[in-house]
Amino acid sequence: MSTLPPVVLSADEREWLSRLVRTGAHPAQEVRRSRILLELDDSRRRPCSRQDIAQRVGVDPQTIANVARVYAERGGDVVATIQRKKRLTPPVEPKITGEVEARVIALACSTPPPGQLRWSLRLLERHVALATDIPDMDHSTIGRVLKKRRFVLT
């Protein structure tokens, strides 16, 4: 069994974590990690094994080691330890960028093709498909782009 990195909480941190655990208005993962940190706190309890703490908290012993490791990696920052790490980039790059929105709006502002009185979403969809510098979009996506910018087809 490997030794766990030490977790030493201040009185304020202990009070904050205890309040977080008592109130039921937080995500379950945060509550679980808070309970683990409170159990791992070296300043309050005698050393316990990973299995004992895991049994008291109701998690796998590896989870105890993971929380202790993350606490050590994040320099003892309790908030960063219990909260989910924020993603720097989205998992999928957005297809509709500001430039694409501008091109669609510019197309909608232009005069409609001959034989048409005004632009419809489906007509815009066909013209967007013909444009090489605009990614293909469904008519409903074009409608959302226009609605987002409060543009009305009249």
Position 135 pLDDT exceeds 70: yes
Q: How confident is the model at residue 44 (pLDDT cuts 50, 70, 90)?
A: low
- What's the CA gap between 140 and 56, in Å, rounded? 52
Position 1 pLDDT exceeds 60: no
pTM confidence score: 0.59
- What's the CA gap between 67 and 34, in Å, rounded? 9
Burial degree of 108 (CB within 10 A; 0-12, 13-18, 19+): buried
Tens-place pLDDT, residues 81-130: 998 888 888 888 888 889 999 999 999 999 999 999 999 999 999 999 99
The tokens of 111 are what? 């005069």
The pLDDT assigned to 8 comes to 85
The pLDDT assigned to 33 comes to 93
The pLDDT assigned to 111 comes to 92
For the CA atoms of the chain, what is the radius of gyration? 27
Distances (CA, A) of 85 to 21, 68, 79: 20, 15, 10
Question: In the predicted model, what is the mean pLDDT of residues 63-85?
Answer: 90
Category of 71 on φ-ψ map: left (φ > 0), alpha (ψ -120 to 50) or beta: alpha
Alpha helix (H) residue ranges in the chain: 11-22, 28-40, 50-57, 61-73, 78-82, 98-109, 121-130, 139-148
Residues of the chain above pLDDT 90, percent: 48
